[in-house]
């Protein structure tokens, strides 16, 4: 029996990159998956991959920073499948610039998606998971939330907030059998890293003991572990998946 057979997962930011890899991995491991992004049409390829794995996909347009949109998504998931077993808060954005140049809008937008979005979905699914007396929430934070980074004070603050939110909600929900953990990815291969010059890539790789960028699948594997019964005694933790960049 597959580890998520009969389980239902929600994955935000599932149209591409890490979110898509997570959704596909959970489907391959037996889960039906509610996939969310700002535009439902962006999710077509992810939905097709999930269905090709023999599982059901429910693509939904969701603004993760809007409470009504989030509540409607979770309600639709419960209506369609009757339960929510796994919640992966992956949606995130960046609007990088130095502190003295950062606008209020750039600060607010990043905190709204990265931190408020995680809060809204966690609050919405927690009510259902508590009634079920079981569930797993995995929040995608970042190595930047652990160490900070020049030009990313908004992003760093949002991801550090996700880590603190993870620990607090883990304490609140543990008594009802709901586990909450976070993953802090390092540099993950993407269209952005592919576009970097060789010089910049080499500078980045010099800070990674394993001497390579991570792949979206590396994060998906970690999510699959933390969401599974293999991690039944793990909650309130931050798993760094960064090739040794931070030790």
Q: Which residues are catalytic?
A: 155
Burial class (CB in 10 A: 0-12, 13-18, 19+), 238: middle
Sheet arrangement for strand 178-185: 57-61, 32-37, 8-12, 86-89, 135-140, 178-185, 238-241
CA angle 167, 229, 72 (to 5 degrees): 65
* Paired tokens of 170: 């883990």
State the CB neighbour count (10 A cutoff) for residue 9.
30
Burial class (CB in 10 A: 0-12, 13-18, 19+), 214: buried
Q: Cα(179)–Cα(234) distance, rounded to whole angstroms?
A: 7
Q: Which of 188, 192, 64, 38 is nearest to 116 (CA)?
A: 64
* Paired tokens of 242: 């960064």
Q: What are phi and psi of 95, to 5 degrees?
A: -145, 85
DSSP state of 174: G
């Amino acid at each position: 029996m597959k580890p998520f057979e009969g389980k239902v997962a929600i994955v935000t930011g599932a149209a591409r990159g890490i979110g898509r890899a997570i959704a596909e991995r959970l489907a391959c491991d037996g889960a039906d998956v509610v996939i969310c992004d700002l535009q439902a049409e962006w999710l077509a390829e992810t939905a097709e991959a999930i269905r090709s794995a023999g599982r059901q996909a429910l693509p939904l347009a969701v603004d993760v920073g809007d409470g009504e949109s989030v509540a409607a998504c979770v309600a639709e998931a419960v209506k369609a499948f009757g339960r929510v077993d796994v919640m992966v808060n992956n949606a995130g954005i960046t609007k990088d610039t130095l502190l003295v140049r950062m606008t209020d809008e750039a600060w607010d937008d990043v905190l709204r998606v990265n931190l408020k979005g995680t809060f809204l979905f966690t609050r919405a699914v927690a009510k259902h998971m508590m009634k079920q007396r079981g569930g797993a929430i995995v929040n995608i934070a970042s190595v930047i939330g652990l160490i900070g980074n020049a030009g990313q004070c908004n992003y760093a603050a949002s991801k550090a907030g996700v880590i603190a939110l993870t620990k607090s909600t883990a304490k609140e929900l543990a008594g009802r059998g709901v586990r909450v953990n976070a993953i802090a990815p390092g540099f993950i291969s993407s269209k952005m890293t592919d576009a970097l010059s060789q010089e910049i890539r080499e500078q980045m790789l010099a800070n990674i003991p394993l001497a390579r960028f991570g792949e979206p699948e590396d994060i998906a594997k970690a999510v699959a572990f933390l969401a599974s019964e293999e991690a039944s005694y793990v909650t309130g933790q931050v798993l760094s998946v960064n090739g040794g960049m931070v030790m």
